[in-house]
Amino acid sequence: MADLTNASAPALAVVTREGVTESVHHGIGVVVDGEGMVLRTVGDANTLVFPRSTLKPVQTVTVLECGTPLEPLEMALATASHLGSARHGQAVDAFLHNHQLSENLLQCPVDWPLGDDAKEALLRSENPEKSRLAMNCSGKHAGFLACCQHMGWDLENYLDDSHPLQVAIKSRLAELAGEKITLTTPDGCGAPLHQISMTGLARAISQVVSGKTPESRALVGAIADHSWAIAGEGHANTIVIDALGGIAKIGAEGLVVIGLPSGVTAAVKILDGGMRATTPVALSLLGSVGAWDPALIESLVEATSARIYGGTAVTGGLSVVI
């Protein structure tokens, strides 16, 4: 296994304007089945990456396996990279209070909402300030705190590598990915982030979405019932979950995982860190192995692919080239 390089990442998508290539997105893609067997790779799938928020399903499953009594909406919020809408903020606040916790215990950074509409709405409100509730990982941190509250673990150092919860998450990830973890660093929200290969990432998510444990089955069902909470209305993750079920989860710096109820899972990393090619490429990879109805996959690729404008007219768009 090696770190990410240009050589490991072929072209996966192009953006054209008036039929002329304007930008090219290079990256790595891998598809595995429900048992973790590799079905297809594009680029070097043994490349090591920081999987960012695509790890959240594993983190939430670990929280549940500790016996933490989460409601279905709370499970979805714990797995979310939400847009920071008022609805999200209210739901995370209720999540905390349901477990006798409060916003001041969150150790994620204060932030503006991730979504443009949510940020604009906040700026127009009576209290236009950054907050921890608005930060896109606030639900994950609420889940961490709820677990610590349930287990009687320390609430102040829940992000430390040596904290029992973080030790459990690291161990569970290594087990699900089938890899030894050799490098851990803080993620953008402050939580421990573990480097794994693209194949390991796909395998870990496939094990969760396959529903091999009561906890993973509960999580997949919760995400299906509360898809809006994972990201937000109109977001690619929510669109894909509503259409296909399973799990769809972005991660910062050009990452996405899409796991179908069958366990077939695609993981994609875009080399330049941009997000616009992630979901169309992952869907196309799933379509290429016959994982779902081709017509539905094609319609979802179209729905999640960027359009290029000249003024108000569409003059081009993104196309997958795997």
Please state the rounded mean pLDDT for residues 140-156.
98
DSSP one-letter code for 179: S
Please state the rounded mean pLDDT for residues 212-225.
97
pLDDT band at residue 172, thresholds of 50, 70 and 90? very high
Beta bridge partners of 251: 255
- 107-68-56-156 Cα dihedral, nearest 10 degrees: 20
Pairing of strands 184-186, 192-194: antiparallel
Kindly tell me if the per-residue pLDDT of 115 is higher than 90: no
Question: Residue 31: which H helix or E strand, with range?
Answer: strand 20-32
Please state the rounded mean pLDDT for residues 163-182.
98
Structure token pair of residue 70: 């989460």
Which amino acid appears at position 299 of this protein? S
pLDDT band at residue 137, thresholds of 50, 70 and 90? very high
Q: By the 8 A CB rule, do 88 and 156 touch?
A: no
Write out pLDDT tens, residues 266-310.
Answer: 999 999 999 999 999 999 999 999 999 999 999 999 999 999 999
Write out pLDDT tens, residues 36-90.
Answer: 999 999 999 999 999 999 999 999 999 999 999 999 999 999 999 998 899 999 9
| Continuous H helices in the chain | 56-65, 72-78, 86-98, 116-123, 138-151, 164-177, 198-209, 214-225, 227-230, 236-244, 278-288, 294-304
Q: How far is CA 21 from the centre of its chain?
A: 29
CATH of 6-320, one of 3.40.710, 1.25.40, 2.60.40, 1.10.3470: 3.40.710
